[in-house]
Structure 1
């Protein structure tokens, strides 16, 4: 048999969706005779990319049109201005992007990569594909026709070998059960650590039917971990133990203590599983997410392992690519947000081998939360849940005994001497009901809510997109709902700037948005602390009988103040728009941060700023150009999520 034709399959994924899409293409490619092993873009050096002859890129977009974290190193190398225009002339490629049309920067990362590769001499053998998660059929609406044409174009470039049915990513070895009764500790990657949950509380002050629950979680980092205002905490949740027991014991008819070793089938592939033996309880608690919506491939795998003809027919229908099948799958799975576990309960006769099941199930992914506090903040909100001096911190050596008589102020010095730092997370608890009255709970938010005070959480830190500008640079923050998380941290850090520079008193603007003043005015008791330098404008959307009021309405109401901040130390209002470069030192007016849900708020806020500038004498086109330039120069930053 002729060897399979090799094609590089490179992905850039922030939350795992692009990686799963790459694996779906890899499975299909193997069936068509192409050897494709998904690899993260940052696992490839530029000099290695120069040697590649055929490549398929699968790229998602994050933030404000930014590339995902596992693409940024290679992307910076590709952007080097000194690279020759013929650097990649031997490369034939195509790109599929995963995006969301609710964002103005729809599929920016994929679009920019496609153009840059061509600019370095590479040739596209197939068109750019732009998937839209907002379509009723999801990414598959574009992925299916794009991939069909891509395989045909690829076959012309490189004749495929004989087809292969290899669709299993992992090999599973059954092991003897451990007899000591102890679960081995979780192996932590280099960049992750254990944090301690110090306190938790609901931030709602009254119950309202239309107000989602929001909680504050205070965590303590280990002594060697430090963060800045605007940073992000990455949290690895664990699956609910009741769900794990039901899935393993009742569904798979296995014991929680059964031990297996999981290895990647291809020796060159990385594995999310440790090399040691794992109990099934560990596998389905920490590594595989049976609460997530499954892929179309999952239905295909189930259809291959059921003796029931009705179940096989329905599962095969869900796995097919016809429009009728996509519509049926949308109604059954996506609209109802049905989990992989629920699918297996509905199709109880389908029981694939463990290796095939694990290869088809979604992996458990971490969740990212903007940190809602500034390091070493000693103002409002710090007293809540402060740790007791009689309680040993999780990082304190056993021979050290905290004194009951030690003043609280001395305890705070632990942080000042680099021993630990605390942080707050402001988290909306996801708990919704579908059209068919099914309850759907968010994995990580409910994991945090149910975690016991004093327990350890696996975390890591990431640099955020928001950084506090110099004190002389005006700041405008727009952050409805839990979008206030990074802005609360920046306000606390800004307050320390003001205290250190009493002769400089900025008059920054902050726009908050909630539903009811009496119910969900998050951290409402804190904002008066900053009134000497910060004007806080709050929109309570449901507290008005005649209309709903949102942050964009307040932006227009505060138009004169907004224009003063945007025009500070720059050309007079109404003057011709200038494209000169802007720095962070006040020569171009305020910096704008917009934080919160991605749709439709950011677009509406952008339009409100355009309206404000128009009232100051600009044309709509000039106002739009100015805001676009602010975005390109990182003076107007959206930190939003979908």
Structure 2
């Protein structure tokens, strides 16, 4: 059970969590256990899993095994493998079952070829021809094939990185969004990596097939939209860039003819101390994908249909929307830093940011809106404090557009404090001209910029907060709302600690009083964070 954002469940678990919270079913006689997928850099670490575990017990179910908490900031795969190794003997012993170790290699889907000339999925989700004949509502299962109307570079010429501002046309989609929402983007895999797998495994990528669940009663009939071709599946539906999961390594080891290579793959998929340590270094830290594994184990030649069954689905990526529907009702803007780096001789590229990087105007991208909890106060005269270094500024661009709209309507608009940070004012100061225009228009009343590499001493947003501590406290006394967006690992934590220090030292609160004050801010949605690691 995963957790994202402010302790929220993922989309596919929202109804279950709502049912468990709001209803009172009798679960006596039901056995359960929970494994959580979370990240310790987030304040609400594994909150959804903890809620489900607690409610199941309260509703009468019996916990057969203690809850496991996976930490994606460390090694989620190792956490699960260790938990599973203890869980399986417990559950088999409890019910008197015999653990069938061969079952892990059993196929869940059977291959069926489709006759030539029949229609097949070419990147759509949900139904064939969904992009040619779109039907609302649009969501994670039914994205809208939008048109790119703008794609421009935000970083300066001296920056060694790239940050893109991209706008999507939604005028014909009846897509509604609110300032602070997220945009889901479905990327496609790099065609060079797709071609590499085709060459390494030497198969015809354009034959049409379907994979059908061998369990006729299963609710999940296919692992991805079928019928399709292997080329389409590798391009649109399976993740070929992420570090390879242990069960994939175990599955493909059976297709490896070289005994040394086979033993290496099997060790990587084993929950022994040696296997876990090797997996953590070779796969996790060095970010080896299925393409890397096939290249480095040349005798490994899995059947493509089995490999496609084993690989995880390619997931949508989410970006904070950087526009306001009151200013841009027919367009949605996002901004993103392009992810790419080297590990040894291998060049690692982020799937979605590199997919978006060179998307030309008039090209198409599947998108949908996911609602967020981060909202401006309903009254536009309430002051706000926005803290967002780098692309963490994205939702605040929407906030500023929203307040500018109200100001142009003649409404009383509250003070807006922005704490923005980047490395250097000439390299990666995004939206600089727009921010200066917001200041000139009287919409942005206080702009504090922290540049970490423009001078000898590094300056971060938390340093700017402390330098203006009296103004921050005065704004809080006046009912200001605080918003934080960006890095969860360091920035968000440092900002929170600085705010607590301001509450103590400027507000005259004790340690406990400051903590309680901050909790009240959170409770009343006066402190909201949209952070990631």
TM above 0.5, one fold? yes
Per-residue Cα deviation, 1:167-226 (whole angstroms, up to 9, x for no partner): 3232222344549xx9765434453211001121110123234xx311111111142222
In the TM superposition, residue 592 of structure 1 has moved relative to its aligned partner by: 1.3
State the Cα distance separating 1:77 from its structure 2 match. 2.4
**Aligned 8 A contact 2:224 2:313 in 1:** no
1:638 is aligned, of 510, 513, 529, to 529
Instruction: Describe the SS at the equivalent of 1:606.
Output: helix
3-state SS of 1:356 partner:
helix
Q: Could you say which residue in structure 2 is the equivalent of 1:44?
A: none
Whether the 8 Å contact between 1:97 and 1:129 is mirrored in structure 2 is yes
| Superposition pairs of residues 573-584 of structure 1, within 5 angstroms | none
Quote the residue 1:456 is aligned against: 364
Q: 1:67 and 2:4 equivalent?
A: no
Secondary structure at 1:630 match in 2: helix
- Structure 1 window deviating more from structure 2 (219-228 vs 421-430): it is 219-228
Q: 1:373 to 1:352 in 2, by over 3 A?
A: same
C-alpha separation in 1, matches of 2:60 and 2:410: 52
Show the 5 A alignment for 1:592-603: 592-603=482-493
The reply on whether 1:560 has 2:466 as its aligned counterpart is no
What is the deviation of 1:498? 2.4
1-structure distance, mates of 2:416, 2:178: 20
Mapped pair 1:430 → 2:339: yes
The residue aligned with 1:160 is 97
- Across the aligned residues of Structure 1 and Structure 2, the Cα RMSD in angstroms comes to 2.1
CA distance in 1, matches of 2:152, 2:236: 25
| Equivalent residue, structure 1, for 2:132 | none
Given candidates 105, 108, 130, the residue that maps to 2:47 is 108
- Given that 2:384 and 2:481 are in contact with CA atoms closer than 8 Å, whether structure 1 keeps it comes out as yes
Q: Where in structure 2 are there 5+ consecutive unaligned residues?
A: 127-137
**What's the offset of the Cα at 1:376?**
4.7
The answer to whether the 8 Å contact 2:33/2:66 transfers is: yes
> How do 1:493-512 residues align onto structure 2 when only pairs under 5 Å count?
493-502=402-411, 504-512=412-420
Q: Contact (CA 8 Å) 1:177, 1:257: kept in 2 or not?
A: no
Q: Decide whether the 8 Å contact of 1:370 with 1:464 is kept in 2.
A: no
Q: TM-score normalized by structure 2?
A: 0.90
Among candidates 257, 260, 279, match of residue 206 of structure 2: 257
1:64 touches 1:638 (CA, 8 Å); kept in 2?
yes
- Structure 2 Cα separation of the partners of residues 169 and 428 of structure 1: 38
> Residue 253 of structure 2 corresponds to which residue in structure 1?
303
- The change in CA–CA distance for 1:257 and 1:148 in structure 2 (over 3 A counts) is closer
Tell me the CA shift for residue 62 of structure 1: 0.6
Cα deviation digits, residues 577-625 of structure 1 (max 9, x gap)? xxxxxxxxxxxx1211110021111111100101111122111221122
Query: Given that residues 406 and 413 in structure 2 are in contact (C-alpha distance below 8 angstroms), is that contact kept between their aligned partners in structure 1?
Result: no
Gaps of 5+ in 1: 1-58, 379-414, 416-420, 569-588
Residue matched to 1:528: 436
Deviates more, 1:353-362 or 1:513-522: 353-362
Name 2:134's counterpart in structure 1: none
Change (3 A) 1:98 1:183: closer
Residues 474, 244 of structure 1: CA spacing in aligned structure 2 closer, same or farther, 3 A cutoff? same
- Give the TM-score normalised by the residue count of structure 1: 0.76
Picking from 441, 460, 473, the partner of 1:550 is 460
3-state DSSP of counterpart to 2:334: strand
The structural deviation recorded for 1:90 is 2.6
- Which among 258, 274, 282 is matched to residue 324 of structure 1? 274
Deviations 1:306-365 (A, max 9, x none): 111111111111111111122222222211111111111111111122332122212211
Q: Is the 8 A contact 1:559 1:612 kept in 2?
A: yes
What secondary structure sits across from 1:217 in the alignment? strand
* Structure 1 residues 107-186: aligned runs within 5 Å: 107-135=46-74, 138-160=75-97, 163=100, 165=103, 167-178=106-117, 186=123
Cross-structure match for 2:391: 482
Q: Distance in 2 between matches of 1:481 and 1:555?
A: 16
Counterpart contact for 1:272–1:287, Cα < 8 Å = no
1:51 aligned residue: none
Give, in whole Å, the separation in 1 of the partners of 2:107 and 2:98.
19
* Aligned-partner SS, 2:482: strand
- Partner Cα separation in structure 1 for residue 521 and residue 108 of structure 2: 45
Query: Would you say how many aligned residue pairs link Structure 1 and Structure 2?
Result: 509
Structure 1 residue runs of 4 or more that deviate by more than 4 Å after TM superposition: 176-179, 182-186
Match of 1:247 in 2: 197
Evaluate the alpha carbon distance shift between residue 260 and residue 423 of structure 1 in structure 2; reply closer, same or farther with a 3 A threshold: same
Partner of 2:129: none
Higher mean alpha-carbon deviation, 608-617 vs 148-157, is at 148-157
Secondary structure of 1:102's match?
Answer: coil
Does the 8 Å contact 1:230/1:371 carry over to 2?
yes
Q: 1:93 aligns with which of 16, 28, 32?
A: 32
Alignment of 1:180-329 (within 5 A): 186-189=123-126, 191=139, 192-209=143-160, 212-223=161-172, 224-248=174-198, 250-267=199-216, 268-270=218-220, 271-276=222-227, 278-329=228-279
